[in-house]
Structure formats: C-alpha cells, structure tokens
Amino acid sequence: MASELDQSIHAQMPSLLRMLNHLRSRIRVTPMAVFWTLITFILIIPITLFLSVAFSPRLFDQGKQWFTLSSFKPVFSGSYGIALLHSFILGVVAAVGATAISLSMAWLVLRTDAITRRIWNGAIFALFLAPSYLIALGWQRLFEQRGVLEIMGLHITPIRNLLYGPVGICMVLMVKGIPFAYLVIANAMRGLGEEFEQAVRVHGGSRIEAFKVMATLLLPSIFSALAIVFAEAISDFGVSSTLSNVAHFSVATYQLYQGINSIPVQFPVSAATSLTLLTLVILAILAQNRALRGRSFRTLGGRTRPATRLKLSRLGQFLSSGWIIGILVITLGIPIFGAISASMLQGLGSLLSHYSINFSNYTRVLGSRFLRKPLIYSTEMSLITATLAVGLAAVASKVLTSAKPSRSKRFMDFFLLAAVALPGIVFAIGYIFTYNLKFINDLGLHVYGTSFLLALAYTANALPSTSRSLVGNMSQIQDSMMDASRVHGSGPARAWLDVTMPIIARPLLIAWLLTFSGTLLELPVSELLYPPGSPPVAVGIELSLAGFDFGGGTAIEVLSILWALFVVGVAFFIFNRFAPVGWKRLGNQQ
C-alpha cells in the first residue's frame, strides 16, 4: 500500500510542481504588498479586533454573547458616565478657549506690527512639541504643598485649589490646544486679502467690525480648530494621569487606563468607551460640516492683494505685547520655571525644612544607571519609530494623493482619518488585547512585553498624523515629472531621488523630527506596553515622581527636552551642511 502511495505521489509530482510554479508567478512580493501587510498588522488588525469586542465578547473569549450592546451600558452610567461627561465638558471649554486665544494671536502676529510677534512664531513650535503631562507637572511642582512657591514663602493655597480641579485641568488642555488651533487659523489668515476689511472701513465700519468680517470669512478654519482641539482634549492622557488623578476628577482616558489595570480586565467596556470617544470626535466633525453647509468662503482670486500690517499706537504696542508675553508666560514660562527650579532644589518632596539649590539632581541622574537608562532606551526606540513611521507615511501620502481613484485610496483615507481621532491609549489597549489573543499566539507571534511590540505601537500611534502632514507636499508632485524622468532613462529609484526628494526632503526631515520628539516623551503607549525592566523616559519620570523623588524626576524632564532640542539642532545642521543644494533650495520654498 505504501509503495502504491509513493508511486502515486511521484506520478503527481510534475503537476504539483507546475502548480507551485504557477502560484509563485502569480503571488509577487512587491513594495506595496509589504506596505499593506505592515499597515494591516500595526493598524487595522489591533484597532478592529479591539473595537469589535464591544459588540461580540464571546468571539474573543471575553463574555458569553455573540452580539450585544450591554458593554455600552456602563459607559453612560456610574463612574464611566461621569468621566465621559467630564471629558465632554472639558473638551468643549478647552476648544472654545484655545480657538479664541489663537484667533487673537494670529491677528496680532500676521496683521499688526506688534513688537513681540516674532517671539511667538518660535515659541508656538516649542509648545507644540511639549507633552501635556510635562506642562501639568511644571505647574504641579510650583503650586503643590511644600512645592517651589511654598518653599519661597508664598501663600498660594487658593491658586492650588483652582489648579487641582476642573479649572486647572481645563487650563492645561486649553494651553496644549493653542498650537493646533493657531496653525490652522494662521494658515487660513495668510491667504486672506484685505479688501473685505477695507470695504468695511470705507463704509464707516470700525476696526472691531472689520475684525468680525475677517473672523466670519475664517469660519472654516475656526470650526476646524474647534474640532481638532476638542478631539485632542477628550483623548488626552497626560493631564488625566497627572492633574486629574491628583485632583480625583475623573476623565474618560484615565477611566480607560483603570479599566485595563483592573482585575478582571474590562476589555468590552474599554472598547465601548473608546468607540464612544471616537463617536464624539466624528460628531464634532459632522457639526462642523453642517455649520458650513451651503455657505461659500472662497475669497482668493486673481485680484487678491496681500494684507498690509496695521501700525499700532504706543498704547496698542503696549497692550499687544502684554497679551503675547502674558500668553507665553502662562503656556511656557511657568511650566519651564517650575521644572527647572524643582530640578535644582535638593530635598524637594521630602519633609526637610532646609533646601539647597544646586545641580546635584542632574549629577545624580547622569551618574545613575537606573535614571539614565530610560533616556537611552527611549532615544533608541524614537530613532527606530521615526524612521519606520516616516517611511510608511511617505508611501501612505503617495497613495492618498494619487490621481487615480481606487478602493485602496478610499480605504486608506477613511482608516487614517479614523485613526487620527483615536486616543493614544486606545492604540496601547488595542495592542494589549490583540497580541494576547490565543490564536495570535498560536501563530507564533509571541511579541507581547517586547521592545518589538512597543516600536510597532509607537509607529501606529504616529503614522496617521505623520501621513496627513506629508499629504500637502506630495499633492504638489505631478505624475508627468516622474514620467519625464523615466523617459530620459532614469530608473524608479533615480527618478524618485531626482524628482520627488528635492520637493519633500525638508518636510520629511521635519516629520521625522516631530515623530522623534513626540515618541521620546510619549506617555500612554509607554505606560502600558513597555517591556519589564526597560522603562522609557516618560515611565522613568513617573516612577521617580511616584517615589517622591521630585528633584530627580524633574531633572530627567529637563534633560529629555534638552536632548530632544539637541537632536533637532544636529539634524538641521547635517541637512544644511551635507544635503544636495536642490533639496535645500526647494525645501525653503515649501
């Protein structure tokens, strides 16, 4: 019987070999196939599987129902419902406040000759890079009991009571939302001519009425700013893990974190909460579209003239400079002073009655392997993440800007837009859930608790926003330019270097640096997915502060920010020194 089976196998071998060769010829490993495989495993599968458990707990051994909506019931009642309501109110107030401040700042910086306007342009990017939890910690070090201001002999109890509550939480969220709102409104205001404002003035209108007309024409960008800041506020984890936690004022993202740390883990309820947060963001975008429906805001034309700067009087210069400097002091000055002063106080957080000012905390951090190791580990992970995320984002933005309509383009557009609205903590929880599933482990993917999984989660968290940031530059590249290069004998790689890279070199560098800096100090993904014994720098800061080593923790904060600025400076120096001339010339025009 065995010999007959062997003869049958040998007889069928030629046909089997032909079938395998045919399949091999049909299945080709192309760069786009590799790209979509990576996108599937780092974005689509973790998010889809995790959010699906809200409707089908039994499918993933998390309950008995194949389909149910019972997971949503706790979301709108009890502690989850209160936290969701708090997040919604904070998001609305922070969005309105940040947008109003940004509108006034954009007008002062772009439409007036305010002396201090140039300071704002540099400070806004520093504020953009600063994580919300570092801003909150800077305020905490100043106003906490036995903090910097109390050591200086100041009575700040009333201010502390405001800071450790909804007012302080909302203020920090508003501060963090200002750079997002400002960049959106300022970009729109730069393209707005002055003829509409002049028409108001010619017909007897005041400057305030002219400003109202300009604000009306900027409604699309204002509504966009409101939606963006609202989404950022309700999805923020940094403030919820610092001020909100200390003040015992619950918000949705920290409730998610507690749900994952509870026993048993409440994956279905966490998924339902994540879907609710995503729904709130989608509703904000739909409200924006409804408010603008049927109204035209097309103001650019061939006769549009650039706006001239308003010359302010001495009183106007004084008031505008005071406003700009005041906002900078609140947003950056106080947190920076709080962090630096706390890092130089020896004995902060202890019961000592005498304190000394020196650099011993920095010496201790640099000399201690336990305190220095998180910064080195986060730097390594940030280098890997920034390179991988920007590479994938370049391909994704190319797909999104393709002139040919396709299903892959529509799918990519929808999924990246949805991913932008998801909080970073949802990515982390999605990875915990997905890569602990039995069938995933049966496939041999034992990656939970490893640096490999942390790098994938970092990349998934950074990819949506990085892709969106490159779309504008990619959309400027005409396919005919690449075709012309190919006609003249260039291969695909050479055509890419000659045509595409000069246009996107600087945007790629900026995207890489933003991803590097954001990953270096990232908190929610780091908090939930770091490998045992290898805490990233954000977790290292948290561990130091949890052990009441306030001086060492803030010293790590300051060193981390200085290190990020150093890397940014070195990267720009290398680019300006060694990049081809065409890359630098075209990049400066973007």
The total of other beta-carbon atoms located within 10 Å of residue 26's CB is 7
Q: Which domains does the chain have, with CATH numbers?
A: 77-292+306-343 (1.10.3720.10), 360-590 (1.10.3720.10)
CA dist list (Å): 221 to 187, 190, 346, 536: 9, 12, 47, 37
| Residue-wise pLDDT tens digits, 394-444 | 877 777 766 666 676 676 666 666 666 677 777 787 788 777 777 777 777
- Look at residue 241 in the predicted model and tell me its pLDDT: 79
Q: pTM for the full model?
A: 0.75
- Look at residue 584 in the predicted model and tell me its pLDDT: 57
- Look at residue 3 in the predicted model and tell me its pLDDT: 47
- Look at residue 273 in the predicted model and tell me its pLDDT: 80
Helix segments in 65-156, DSSP class H: 78-111, 117-129, 132-143, 148-151
- Enter the tokens of residue 311: 């010359």
Per-residue burial over 501-530, b if 16 or more Cβ lie within 10 Å, else e, is bbbbbbbbbbbbbbbbbbbbbbbbbbbbbb
Report the distance separating Cα 61 and Cα 580, nearest Å: 56
**DSSP of 27-54, one letter per residue?**
S---HHHHHHHHHIIIIIHHHHHHHHTT
- Look at residue 300 in the predicted model and tell me its pLDDT: 39
Please report the sign of the dihedral spanned by the C-alpha atoms of residue 212, residue 217, residue 223, residue 229.
negative
Antiparallel, parallel or unpaired: β 345-346 and 356-357? antiparallel
- Look at residue 118 in the predicted model and tell me its pLDDT: 82
- Look at residue 23 in the predicted model and tell me its pLDDT: 43
Report whether 169 contacts 249 (CB < 8 A): yes
The total of other beta-carbon atoms located within 10 Å of residue 420's CB is 16
Report whether 382 contacts 508 (CB < 8 A): no
What are the two backbone dihedrals, phi and then psi, of residue 30, each rounded to the nearest 5 degrees? -100, 160
| Residue-wise pLDDT tens digits, 359-406 | 787 888 888 777 778 888 899 999 999 998 888 888 777 777 666 666
- Look at residue 192 in the predicted model and tell me its pLDDT: 64
- Look at residue 484 in the predicted model and tell me its pLDDT: 56
Residues of the chain scoring pLDDT < 50? 1-13, 15-17, 19-20, 23-24, 27, 294-304, 587-590
